[in-house]
Amino acid sequence: YNEDAEKLFEVEGQNLKGLSVVNQYKNPGDRTIFISHFKKKGFVKDLEVEILSFKGHEKTVSTSSIPFEDKEKGKVLLTVFQDITDRKRYENQLELYRQNLESLVQKRTQQLEDSNARIQSINKEVLEKNFELEQTLQRLRETQAQLI
């Protein structure tokens, strides 16, 4: 018996034999997708689906399946489930971090653009005031020259 299958489906090894996982799909539509892939290609490779263990716990698996000729049962499907629950959780966390980081970058970029606009506005005012002061100083020099 397969310890990984026991752990994934939360059932003891001796009880695994002959169990059908058909009803373990969390989303019945995933079973339809599985069948559609199988009919189209003759096999299924790395299809990600959510399942329920026999104790009702949600898990995410990558499943692959090929037809197999069993001497006793005839044609059966040899199906492999890989538990990717932790990986999907980490991927989801990374996506949340990425979105948060993207949001922070957008906010900071907007702050920098606003600051830059304020600096340009202040710079323009300073240049205008400087020009006005230079004109006033020039007029004062001209007035002073007339008075002397």
The answer to whether the pTM exceeds 0.85 is no
> In the chain, which residue ranges form alpha helices assigned H by DSSP?
3-9, 13-16, 28-41, 85-147
Q: Which of 79-83, 103-107, 120-124 has the lowest mean pLDDT?
A: 79-83
Cα-based distances in Å from 62 to 8, 50, 68, 88: 12, 9, 19, 10
Place of tokens 């009919």: 39
pLDDT of residue 61: 96
Q: How far is CA 115 from CA 11, 38, 121, in A?
A: 62, 58, 10
pLDDT tens-digit series, residues 48-102: 999 999 899 999 999 999 999 988 888 988 889 999 999 999 999 999 999 999 9
pLDDT at 37: 94
Place of tokens 């100083």: 137
pLDDT of residue 1: 57
Nearest to 61 by CA among 117, 130, 17, 8: 8
- Between CA 28 and CA 146 the distance in angstroms is 99
Give the whole-number percent of the chain exceeding pLDDT 90: 72
Q: In the numeric block, which tokens belong to residue 135?
A: 């004109």
50 DSSP 8-state letter = E
- When the pLDDT of each residue in the chain is averaged and rounded to a whole number, the result is 92
Residue 103 has pLDDT above 70, yes or no: yes
Q: Are 44 and 32 in contact (CB under 8 A)?
A: no
Measured CA to CA, the distance from residue 49 to residue 65 in angstroms comes to: 13
